[in-house]
Amino acid sequence: MKKIFSLLLLSILCVGMYAQAVDFQKAVRKFKGMSSVVAVATRVDHKAAVANDEKFIGTMTIVAPDKMNISVADGKEQLDMTGDEFTMVMRGREHKTSSKKDNQFVAFQAVLKAIINADGSKLHEIPGVTLTQEADIITIKMDPSIGEDKKKRMLFSSFKITLDSKKGEFRTLRMNGRGKNYTEYSFSSFEFKQ
C-alpha cells in the first residue's frame, strides 16, 4: 500500500513539473525562432523610505541567442546582458559583472537565456530557481544561494520574472534590493522579428 501511495505521489509531482514546463514553453512560444524583439519598457525604482517611486520609460531589445538591453531615461539608465557579461548603469554609476565570477547572476543569466531561446527544459535544474503559475501568469523566482555576509554587499538580493502564457510575452523583471527596495521593469507593445 505504501509503495502504491508513493508511486501515485511521484506521478502527480512529475505531471505537475511537466505541466509547468509545457506552460513555460507556451509563455515563450513567440521567442522561438526570432532574431530580435523590441518592447516598451517602464522602470519603477521603489525605495521604502521615500514616498514616491521614480518612473522611467524606454525600450527593451532582445537579440538571440543571449543579448538583452533595457534602456530608459534617454539611454542614461541601462541594464545590458551580452553572453556572460552584465552591465548596469544606474544614477550615472556603471556596475559590471559576469555570471562566471558572480554567483548572483548564474541563475539570472540561465533564466534569461531560456526565455530568449524558448527552451525551459533545464530550468528545474538551476539551483535557487522556482517556477510557479497562477492562472496565465508564470512566475520565476531566482534566489542565489550565497552567504548572508555577501548578500549585504550585493546590489540585488533576488530576482523575479513573470511571463504571460496566454499572450506569450515577458511581462516583468523585478530585482529586489536591500530591505523592501526594488527595481521593477514592465514590458508592453512587443514587436517580434524573425
Q: Which residues of the chain have pLDDT under 50?
A: 1-20, 22
Please tell me the predicted confidence (pLDDT) of residue 164.
Answer: 92
- Sign of the four-CA dihedral 141, 146, 148, 151: negative
The CATH number of 2-193 is which of 2.50.20.10, 2.60.130.10, 3.40.50.10860, 3.40.640.10?
A: 2.50.20.10
pLDDT at 181: 92
This prediction has a pTM of 0.82
Domain ranges of the chain: 2-193
pLDDT of residue 56: 94
Please say whether the beta carbons of 140 and 160 come within 8 A.
Answer: yes
Q: pLDDT tens for residues 136-152?
A: 999 999 987 655 555 55
pLDDT of residue 145: 62
- The C-alpha cell 530550468 sits at 123
Q: Give the three-state DSSP class for 166.
A: coil
